[in-house]
Amino acid sequence: MNAFRQLVGIQARRTMREPAAVFFMLAFAPMFAVAMGLIFGNEPVAQFGGRGYLDANLVSFTAIIVVILGLIIVPVDILSQRDSGALRRFRATPLRPGTYVAADVLVRFVISLTSIVVMLAIGILAFGARPEGNLGSVLLVAALGVVVFLAVGYALAAVLPSQGVGQALGNILVFPLIFLSGAAVPLDVLPDDVRRVAQVSPLTQLVELLRGLWDGQPWSEQWVPVVVLLGLLAVAGVVASRFFRWE
């Protein structure tokens, strides 16, 4: 228990000491909401069925945070610690891998969710974005999204050979996934074929789920994205716990 507490404290401080991590995990989402709010405002627009830009899009920015977290930040940090031998040094102690991973997950979960909550608060309080559904459900799904993509990050760290590969793969995948998810560009403007392909991406499913709940659709209509996300969580969790290694 003492080891867990120490690890939580150290991971939190390590993260806050790295400018890139602070930016992407904490500051990026609120800044993105502010920028979009200043550029597009939240005046009613016909394109969004008489709602404002932020009303229609704010919640989907969540996907940008979680995909950067899961595909770049987590695997690159874990892989760089494995490459440098830092994880190997832990192996020479009685520390259990599960304790290490649990502490790391907790810290990253809290930071990322904080960032998402601040982003939503800015959109709602500063620009007047209004959810038509239940905000609690939206936050629940945001938390689920963070957990799913944290698991993906650990799964990638478990199977990829080095930090360089992790960095390259993350950078290659992140931008198409964001593009196809509808979080940055509305899917309506894309050709039908591209939209069909986009449905395969779990990130697109996360955006659909967040939007659906934000727009006030009932949970009963959301079973496809929920199943996709829980399925991905299960697969990534199994891969991560089976193949995670100190060296």
Partner 1 sequence: MSTAIRCEGVVKHYGPVRAVDGVSFEVQRGEIFGVIGPNGAGKTTLLECLEGLRSRDGGVVEVLGVDPEREVREVRRRTGVQLQSSALPSRITVGEALALFASFYERPADWRALLTRLGLEEKRDTLVEKLSGGQRQRVFVALALVNDPEVVFLDELTTGLDPQSRHAIWDLVRDLRDQGTTVLLTTHFMEEAERLCDRVAIVDHGTVVALGTVDDLVASIDAESRLTFSVDGRPPVEQLQAVTGVTRVEATGDRVVVHGNGSRFPQGVLGVLADQDLRMRDLRSDQPNLEDVFLTLTGHAMREGVVS
Backbone angles phi, psi at 203, to 5 degrees: -70, -40
Q: Can you say whether the dihedral through the CA atoms of 197, 200, 221, 217 is positive or negative?
A: negative
Q: Which is nearer to partner 1, 18 or 132 (CB)?
A: 18
Q: Is 242 in the site for partner 1 (CB under 8 A)?
A: no
Contact partners, residue 153, CB within 8 Å, separation at least 6: 69, 70, 71, 73, 74, 75, 78
Q: Which is nearer to partner 1, 10 or 140 (CB)?
A: 10
Among 50, 93, 192, 220, the residue binding partner 1 under the rule CB under 8 A is 93
Contact partners, residue 49, CB within 8 Å, separation at least 6: 56
Among 35, 86, 121, 172, the residue binding partner 1 under the rule CB under 8 A is 86
Tell which positions 63-82 bind partner 1, by CB under 8 A: 80-81
> Among the candidate windows 10-18, 24-32, 34-42, 43-51, which touches partner 1 by CB under 8 A?
10-18
Q: Is 50 in the site for partner 1 (CB under 8 A)?
A: no
Please state, in angstroms and as integers, the Cα–Cα distance from residue 16 to each residue in 71, 127, 199, following that order: 19, 28, 35
Q: Which is nearer to partner 1, 46 or 92 (CB)?
A: 92
> Among the candidate windows 40-48, 63-71, 91-99, 160-168, which touches partner 1 by CB under 8 A?
91-99
How far apart are the C-alpha atoms of 163 and 169, rounded to whole Å?
Answer: 10
Number of Cβ atoms within 10 Å of the Cβ of 194: 12
Binding site for partner 1 (CB under 8 A): 2-3, 5-7, 10, 13-14, 17-18, 80-81, 84-86, 88-89, 91-95
